[in-house]
A and B are shown apart, each in its own frame.
Chain A
Amino acid sequence: MLTDVGQIAYFLAFVLSLYGAGASLIGAHRNDDRFVQSGRIAAMLTFPLVFVACLGLWYALLTADFGVTYVAEVSSLSTPLLFRITALWGSQDGSMLFWCLIMAAFIFAAMLRMWREDKSLLPYVTASMTLVLAFFIGANLIAANPFVRSAFPPQDGRGLDPLLRHPGMIFHPPMLYAGFTGLLVPFAFCIASLITRRTDNLWLRASRRWMLVGWVFLGAGIILGGRWAHDVLGWGGYWGWDPVENGPLIPWLIGTAFLHSAMIQEKRGMFKNWNVFLMLLTFSSVIWGTAVVRSGVLTSVHAFAQSDLGPMFLGLIIVVLGVSLYLWLSRLDTLHSENTLDAAFSREGIFMLQNVIFLSTALTIFIGTVFPIITEAVNGTKITVGPPFFNEVAVPQMVVLVFLMGIAPLLAWRKSSVKAVSRMSAIPAAISFLVVVVLIATGTKQVIPLILFALCTYTFVQTVMEYFRGVVARVRTIGENVPTALWHLVQRNQQRYGGYLVHLGVVLIAIGATGKGFYGLDTLRNVNLNDSFTLGNYRFTYRGIQMVPCGFSDCQTVQAAVLVTSATDGHVIGGVYPHRDYYPSQQQTSTIADTTGSFNEEVYVILGDWVNDGATATFQVYINPLINWIWVGGVVLILGFLVAFWRLEPETETRSVKSMRVIGVPSP
């Protein structure tokens, strides 16, 4: 019953989002504020309505109403409470509903903002957002309706996909969805400013913070997804250049380019048309990424379902791209630069270079992702573009970005001198030289990782020195003590120093990726009971295998015990208990690794197979140096966002109030 209420609410949300768009456009056309406000309220109402729809489906999941096909697909009588809740996004149909919930929440928040001097943008912002929402709700209802009932309800459901029974699945999808849908808001501002020809910095100021929110959710979602893959997929890695991983990465890269080049427009009034272009491209790639994640158009390990959503998404991409391009080209004349470029060797110049490489990296990943579809369409052969392509073509470009990240903060706006930059590079360069010497002395021979570690060190030290220089300047001129100086320095320019913290996080991720990529070891071995084998500095002794109670009631678990000792002096490092869980109802096995080792070197063991009741077993072992740096880097990246985003200034300051008004955050 409540489930039906949910479906009705969902349909109402669809109608209201269409109404919101219509009323807003009529209001804008007739210059009648009543229509605009009516559209705004309709847009806001979609959020509670979609929430009621989610409640309806949650109710069905919690009461195990297997009459609803979706519920029978993703849960069973034995599914624990937590996974009944997360089963809302456990498969295609429900996850689109959840997707719409988050999108509606962003629309709600955007409608709630103050709308003062940018009020002329309101109707078009409302219309753009509600139209996109209407598309998603409509597609969900038509092609992937989670409320559909079956005539013959099964006795029990199939249960949640074993791969999705992981804590990462609680946070990863919501983060990713928030990343994708959050980028709708800045896009809508951009479209509205183009339509109204108010192409000054208004839209940029209004949408930059929204962009930052979408961007950090997307980044956090990507990193969490990597962690999930590492823990659950039993392959020792964290990133496989899978289309579903590339889907969110591409808008994230373009969005990063935008966040940087937006600074040029704010500081120098330049690159306006470029910024509009980047914003439109970011959202177009969001739709593309969504299509990849949700339509299963590219078969992959993540794309759990295939449906007729593909053509619908293709249509949406064409519409979004078409409207974007038309508006951009027809408004080019209003997007003048207020200033001229004084020299290429300047902050502006290096930002431009950085933008080019970001876009080129995104383009490379895009080409690699869609190429198999194209070859299949053209001559019927399906090829696979695996990690080697991306590692050889996209990764080098990312390496250049790491270097630019180190040097760009040294360059002044307008123009800079090579001499000054070299002078300031002296200390970081010396330290990275030292690191290289130490690495060579401790036995590192390969040239490429040495170069990469040197670059990472350079950028890391350079970034830390940005803080250092600022603190020293404050201590010298004002006489503050060091912690106060650091606090005020960051407070004075949160955007900059938060950004540097993000840079540090990225460097940590780069160091982790280098360690895993170049010094990772792995092997596949058959061992007899109580025999052992060696990999790297570790010795692995197989100590037995047994059935153990499974974590979930619908599976059977076989667990192996392996003792890990040092290959050199024999001291015990730890015991690992990798296991395989078999789910009879889904006829699926999930291979869960166990790990030991140290922070800097993870030892990752998988139980492959066994014969004769475990007299011989097969193990796959990975040694993952520095992989933990990636997760730490991810946390630092999020902290950096918080520093950039959170307003530390006291509310009483007039400057703060003024800037709040400009940005449009509702005052408390």
Chain B
Amino acid sequence: MRSIRFTRPGSMISPLLLVLLFALMTGMVYSPARAQTPNPNDQVYSVAKQLNCPTCAGRNLADCPTDTCMQWKKEIQDQLQQGKTPQQVISYFKARFGPGVLQEPPKQGAILILWLLPVFGLLALTLGAVVFLKRVSRPAPIRVTGSSSIHDTNNDSYVQRLEDEVRESRE
């Protein structure tokens, strides 16, 4: 058995890279938060969407029907009526309750690590996989692989493969 193809590493890496690039691009463009239709008549609601509910962890303030949340929404409404901008209201809540009150952790300071870690994770895993694939592509210690049920099909035709299987089933 000869290790084919890996004399030209480029042939292996390019499809991987292509898909990765695609993944990254999707990641950059994709942002459902942006796609949410805002309620132009309801600034309170759009501010509440960016804050966390104090009682039901993880959910945003707008989606939470508890009494505490109702009070918070009232607070937002009052501040907006006093002429504060939505951004000022959010800053007020952030100053009072800490950054934990924000739905989306800010992409700055120590919290930037949160956003970068998954990217490093993906890169590390990909690197690991490439190294692993290269190692696997080296000829393994020769042993008889009688158990392998794969036919050495040279042609790539899907129908051919199926027909092989059908034939097998009739034996």
Interface pair B143/A237, CB less than 8 Å apart: no
For window 143-167 of chain B, which residues contact chain A by CB distance below 8 Å? 143, 145, 147-150, 153, 156-159, 161-163, 165-167
Interface pair B165/A493, CB less than 8 Å apart: yes
Q: Is A585 an interface residue (CB 8 A)?
A: no
**A492 with B165: in contact, given A364-B118, A392-B31 (CB under 8 Å)?**
yes
Q: Is A413 an interface residue (CB 8 A)?
A: yes
Q: Chain B residues near A386 (CB, 8 Å)? A: 52, 58, 60, 102-105
Task: Name which of A503-511, A520-528, A540-548 contacts chain B.
Answer: A520-528
Interface pair B138/A384, CB less than 8 Å apart: no
Q: Is B81 an interface residue (CB 8 A)?
A: no
Q: Chain A residues near B161 (CB, 8 Å)? A: 412
**A608 with B65: in contact, given A242-B58, A300-B57 (CB under 8 Å)?**
yes
For window 1-54 of chain B, which residues contact chain A by CB distance below 8 Å? 1, 3-6, 11-13, 15-16, 19, 22-23, 26-27, 29-33, 35-37, 39, 42, 44-45, 52
Which of B23, B67, B162, B170 is close to A589, meaning CB atoms less than 8 Å apart?
B67
Interface pair A412/B153, CB less than 8 Å apart: yes
With both beta carbons as reference points, the residue of chain B lying nearest to A485 in the complex is identified as B166
How far in angstroms is the closest Cβ of chain A from B35? 5
Interface pair B52/A606, CB less than 8 Å apart: no
Q: Is A446 an interface residue (CB 8 A)?
A: yes
Interface pair A396/B103, CB less than 8 Å apart: no
Q: Is A368 an interface residue (CB 8 A)?
A: yes
Which of A274, A389, A392 is close to B132, meaning CB atoms less than 8 Å apart?
A274
Interface pair B166/A301, CB less than 8 Å apart: no
Q: Chain B residues near A343 (CB, 8 Å)? A: 4-5, 11-12
How far in angstroms is the closest Cβ of chain B from A345? 6
- State the CA gap A520–B49 with chains docked (Å): 14
Q: How many residues of A contact B (CB 8 A)?
A: 103
Which of A237, A243, A349, A395 is close to B63, meaning CB atoms less than 8 Å apart?
A237
Q: Chain B residues near A356 (CB, 8 Å)? A: 122, 125-126, 128-129
- State the CA gap A591–B56 with chains docked (Å): 13
Q: Is A329 an interface residue (CB 8 A)?
A: no
Interface pair A609/B70, CB less than 8 Å apart: yes
Interface pair B99/A389, CB less than 8 Å apart: no
Interface pair A470/B162, CB less than 8 Å apart: yes
Q: Chain A residues near B15 (CB, 8 Å)? A: 344-345, 349
With both beta carbons as reference points, the residue of chain B lying nearest to A416 in the complex is identified as B156
For window 444-486 of chain A, which residues contact chain B by CB distance below 8 Å? 446-449, 451, 469-470, 472-474, 477-478
Kindly list 11 other residue pairs between chains A and B, CB separation below 8 angstroms, not including A338-B140, A383-B100, A388-B33: A243-B58, A301-B57, A344-B5, A344-B13, A357-B122, A364-B122, A372-B100, A384-B105, A386-B105, A447-B29, A589-B65
- What 5 pairs between A and B have smallest CB-CB spacing? A344-B12, A388-B104, A396-B27, A364-B118, A235-B63
* A→B interface (CB under 8 Å): 201, 233-237, 240-243, 267-271, 274, 299-301, 336-345, 349, 352-353, 355-357, 359-360, 363-364, 367-368, 371-372, 375, 378-379, 381-389, 391-397, 399-400, 404, 410, 412-417, 420, 424, 446-449, 451, 469-470, 472-474, 477-478, 488, 492-493, 517-518, 520-525, 589, 591, 606, 608-609, 620
